[in-house]
Amino acid sequence: MISFSNVSLVYPNSRKTILENLTFTVNESELILIIGLTGAGKSSFMKLINGLIPHHTSGILSGEIIVAGQSINQLKPGQLSGIIGIVGQNPLNGFVTDQVEDEIAFGLETNGIERSVIRRRVEEVIDLLGLQPIRKRSLSTLSGGEQQRVAIASALVMNPKVLVLDEPTSALDPVAAEEVLAIINKLVHDLGLTVIMAEHKLERVIHFVDRIVLVQGDGQVEIGLPQEIMNKSDINPPIVKVAKHLNLTELPLSVRELKRVTSKWQLPIKAIQRSAFRKSQSSVQVKDLSVDLSGKRVLNKVNLNFNTGEIVSVMGRNGAGKSTLLRAIAGGLNQFAGEILINGSDASKLTGKDLVSLIGYVPQEPADLFFASSVKGECEHTDSQNGLVAGSTEEILTALSPSIIINSHPRDLSEGQKLVLALALVLVTNPRILILDEPTRGLDYRAKDQLTQILKDVALNSVTVILATHDVELVAELATRVVVIADGEIISDGETRDVLTSSPAFAPQVSKAFSSQNWLTVADVIFADIKEID
C-alpha cells in the first residue's frame, strides 16, 4: 500500500537528520503505530505520507514514497485527498467550516462529487461514527472526543485507502479515548483500512497494532512487531514493564495476556501498606463553590479541602468542570458563588506579587506564559519582575532540566521542555500552592517521569500540588489523593489507591491485571515480589 525506498529527510537550516535511508513497506489493511520521543520526527514522518512535506512544509527529501501506486514526489497533497485521509493532532485547528455536517461534506464538495453521492456518503459516516445526535451542532461547541470523531469522519467520507492519525487521543479523557480507539480498531478490521497512527499512551493501543515504527530522532528508525520493539526499546507501557520485571519469555501486550500468565501465580507475597499520610494543615478551602459560564452551570456547590504536602489529581470527563475549578482556586475567575480561602485569605482579591507568592499556576498551554524571545529573556524578566537576585530563575530551570539550551526561543522547545520552563517561572517565587491544568498533554514517557519527580519534590516542601489530568498511569504514580468531578459535582474524593481501584474507567493497567490486589503501579508489583508456583 505504502512503500518507502531509500527515503531521507532533513529540514533546511538544520543539521539534524529526521530520517536516513529508510526503506520499508506498509501492507494493505495494516495498523501501524509510530512511537518516539517528542521532537523525534513522528509528525514529519506522517506528513511525508501524503506529501505535506515537501509540498506544503519545506523539507529536503530524497528517495521515493509510493502510495497506492502513485509517487508523492510528483503529486500534491490535494491530488491524494481521495487516497489518504489525515487527521492532525488538534482537530479543531484543521476544521474548515463551522458545522458538523458541512465539515464532513467539505472534502467531497471540493472534489466535485455529485450531490446525491455526497448525501449518501455523509449519512454512511455519520452512522459509522455515531454522530447522529450532534450532526447539526456547531463545531466550537463539541467536546474533545466529539471533535476527534468529526475529524475522523471527514477524513473517512472520502473513502480513503489510508488513514493517518497524529495522536488521536492525547487530549481525551479515558472513556472518550476508548471510544475513538474502538472505532479505529473497527475500521481496520471491518473495512480493511490501512491506518498509520502516532500515540504516546502505548497502554491504550499496543494490543491491537500490527507493527511499530520507532523513530529514534537521529535519523534511525526501527520497525518490527510490537513484541520485538518492546524488547528493544525502553519506552514501555506498565504491562510490559511488569512482564520484563517478571522475566516472562513472551511479552504480554494487553491486560488479558498478562492475566492469563499470572492467573496461576501465587499472590500476594507482601501486602501493600496504606501510605501513612502525615497529618498536615489545611491550605485551600473551597466552600459551596458554584460557577455559571455563558448561562450554563459548570460547578455546582463544590466543597473541598486541600492540605499542605498533598498531590491532588482532579479527574473527570472533558467538560466536567476540572479547568474551571482550578482556575477558580487560582483566583482567575471573577464571578462565582461561594467562598475560596487560600491560607485563610480570599484568592479572588489577590493580584500581582501577592498572588504569585501564594499561587503558582501553569495553564493548559504553558506557552501562554511566555512572551520573551529567548529562554534567558524569560528568566531575567521573572527575576526583575519579582525583585529576585539575578539568575535565580535560571538556577531553578537548570536544576529542573539541565538540557534546556538557554538561548533558544521558548516556542522551539519540546512540549516537555515548555512545561519545565513554565514550572521554573512559577516556582521561583516559592508559591504555597501549585496548580497545573492538564500538564501531560503531548508529553512522552521521559518527560512524564521527569514531571513526576519534580512535583514529588515540590510537594515535599509542604506545597499543595493540584493538577487536572486524564492520564491514569501518571495519577497512579504521582497523586496522593484523587477527586473525580462529573457534571460540575464531586462524585468521589479519596486516597488514590481507593478511588482508582474502585472504578473500571480510571483503573491503571496494573490494577486491572491484578484485580484481586490493590496495586497501582509497577513499583507495587516489584515490591510485592510475586513468584510463579513450581
Partner 1 sequence: MNSATWWIWSIALAAAALRGGENLILIITILIFIFIVAKRGTDTLWGRSFNFALQIAISAMVIRFIFAVIIGTYLPGNVVFTLPQLQMPQLLAGVRIGGEVTEQRLLSVLDESLTFALIVIAFGAATALSSPIQIIKMMSKRLYLFGVTLIIAFSVLPQILASYQRVKMARKFRGEAKINLRNFNKVLTPVLEESLERAIDLSAAIESRGFGYSKKPTSYRAESFTFVDYLVVALSIYLLIFLPTLISTVGFSLGIPIFTLFAMVPLLLTKPMTVKI
Footprint of partner 1 on residues 147-206 (CB under 8 A)? 154, 158
Shortest Cβ distance from residue 111 to partner 1 (Å)?
A: 5
Applying CB under 8 A, the site for partner 1 has a residue count of 73
Distance CA 491, CA 514 (A): 25
Shortest Cβ distance from residue 53 to partner 1 (Å)?
A: 10
Figure out which of the listed residues 40, 253, 299, 355 binds partner 1, where binding follows CB under 8 A. 355
Query: Residue 78 or 192: which CB sits closer to partner 1?
Result: 78
Figure out which of the listed residues 90, 440, 501, 517 binds partner 1, where binding follows CB under 8 A. 90
Other C-beta atoms closer than 10 Å to the C-beta of 81 total 18
Query: Residue 336 or 514: which CB sits closer to partner 1?
Result: 336
Query: Residue 202 or 347: which CB sits closer to partner 1?
Result: 347
Figure out which of the listed residues 351, 384, 403, 516 binds partner 1, where binding follows CB under 8 A. 351
Shortest Cβ distance from residue 332 to partner 1 (Å)?
A: 5
Figure out which of the listed residues 26, 65, 72, 108 binds partner 1, where binding follows CB under 8 A. 108
Query: Residue 101 or 394: which CB sits closer to partner 1?
Result: 101
Figure out which of the listed residues 263, 411, 460, 534 binds partner 1, where binding follows CB under 8 A. 411
361: contact with partner 1 by CB under 8 A: yes
Distance CA 155, CA 77 (A): 13
Figure out which of the listed residues 15, 136, 279, 349 binds partner 1, where binding follows CB under 8 A. 136
Figure out which of the listed residues 97, 143, 254, 392 binds partner 1, where binding follows CB under 8 A. 97
The residue type at 372? A
Shortest Cβ distance from residue 228 to partner 1 (Å)?
A: 32
Distance CA 321, CA 344 (A): 24
Footprint (CB under 8 A) of partner 1, residues 5-64: 47, 50, 52, 55-57
Strand 60-67 to 2-10 pairing: antiparallel
Figure out which of the listed residues 35, 122, 205, 459 binds partner 1, where binding follows CB under 8 A. 122
Distance CA 361, CA 356 (A): 8
Distance CA 37, CA 44 (A): 13
Q: What would the DSSP string read from start to end of 437-469?
A: ESTTTT--HHHHHHHHHHHHHHHHTT-EEEEE-
Kindly state the DSSP code that residue 120 receives in the 8-state scheme.
H
Figure out which of the listed residues 17, 21, 73, 79 binds partner 1, where binding follows CB under 8 A. 79
Per-residue contact track with partner 1, 306 to 345, x per CB under 8 A? ---------------------x--xxx-------------
Distance CA 526, CA 510 (A): 11
In this structure, is the dihedral angle defined by the CA atoms of residues 295, 297, 298 and 302, taken in order, positive or negative?
Answer: positive
Query: Residue 92 or 528: which CB sits closer to partner 1?
Result: 92
- Which residue matches cell numbers 504516546? 200
From the list 62-70, 138-146, 220-228, 455-463, the region that binds partner 1 by CB under 8 A is 138-146
From the list 33-41, 111-119, 277-285, 301-309, the region that binds partner 1 by CB under 8 A is 111-119
Q: Is 513 helix (H, G, I), strand (E, B) or coil?
A: helix
180 touches 149 (CB < 8 A): yes
Give buried/exposed letters for 104-141 (b at 16+ CB in 10 A, else e).
bbebbeeeebeeeebeebbeebbebbebeebeeeebee
Q: Is 491 helix (H, G, I), strand (E, B) or coil?
A: strand
506 touches 499 (CB < 8 A): yes
Shortest Cβ distance from residue 130 to partner 1 (Å)?
A: 17
Per-residue contact track with partner 1, 368 to 397, x per CB under 8 A? xxxx----------x--xx-----------
| Run of H or E residues at 224 | strand 221-224
Figure out which of the listed residues 27, 62, 78, 346 binds partner 1, where binding follows CB under 8 A. 78
Shortest Cβ distance from residue 178 to partner 1 (Å)?
A: 25
Distance CA 439, CA 418 (A): 10
Per-residue contact track with partner 1, 413 to 442, x per CB under 8 A? ------------xx--x-------------
